[in-house]
Amino acid sequence: MNDKVIAYQGVEGAYSHLACKNALPKSISIACESFEDAMKLVENKTADFAMIPVENSTAGRVEEIYRLIPKSSLFIVSEHFEPVNHCLLGIRGSKLKDIKYIGSHPQALAQCYKNIIDLNLTAVAKFDTAGSAKEISDRNDKTYAAIASKLAARLYNLEILREYFGDLKGNVTRFIILSRENTIPEFNKNKNYITSLIFHVRDIPAALYKALGGFATNSVNLLKLESYSMTGSLQVSRFHIDIEAHPNEKKYKLALDELQFFAKEIKYLGVYEKHIGRENYQLTS
């Protein structure tokens, strides 16, 4: 994946930018205004990959992504866990006592909620973390602060008023790396793999229970189960699952046979190696 172009949402200094630099250090990063724009750059061959956040250990899942992925033609080829150290940033010369307003992405605001309340600050939702840092740098007003990374502080010449501003230690965001190519790693019994799927169940009693039963009876570990309403309906739910298995394994094939009997419109999202970060971090489900 080195020497490739990878798109991300945000501006320079965003946590997605940090994830690109850490996961693919030799890649060329392209900033985009939205997650959808980043994914479209891959679809139209301007970029090779998109770095997309899907969940955070403090604030939970990134809702928008679960609406975009079903409509996308891209595949998950890797996952990356990026530690998140939120910093409270102000303009040069400012002090904590000067701050009245604090801006950042809603996820970052949620992850620093207790500290924001303790300081009696007015939270203002912004498009992204690094963008809020750039905004207060341009504003040059001591009453405004931002929650962003140390990289953003350096890029926009800001003062770090408090380095560890997140409510919880060990905060981490899980990213998926999307590609146009459905690259399936060769099965190695000494490695662990994740296969991601989307489906919705048939309109029969206990359909979800029966659809997932094949994973239990075939000893396939279900790592993640997310449900959300399909567009235009409050009655039909779509399910996203991450399972610990490779498509070449017999247990996977047997479990999928049972899933296909009770589910419909199953969409394969990709298979990829289980990231070592899963051993070190506990994500909110």
Active site residue ranges: 173, 175
DSSP state of 285: -
Contact 62, 191 (CB under 8 A): no
Phi-psi region of 93 (alpha: psi -120 to 50; beta: other; left: phi over 0): left
DSSP state of 94: -
Q: Is the dihedral of CA 244, 285, 31, 15 positive or negative?
A: negative
Q: Which of 198, 192, 202 is nearest to 244 (CA)?
A: 192
Instruction: Report helix, strand or coil for 261.
Output: helix
Q: How many CB atoms lie within 10 A of CB 3?
A: 9
Q: Which of 83, 266, 248, 73 is nearest to 178 (CA)?
A: 73
Q: Which of 58, 57, 181, 177 is nearest to 113 (CA)?
A: 58
Q: Which of 255, 252, 260, 266 is nearest to 200 (CA)?
A: 266
CA distances from 196 to 64, 77, 184 (A): 17, 10, 12
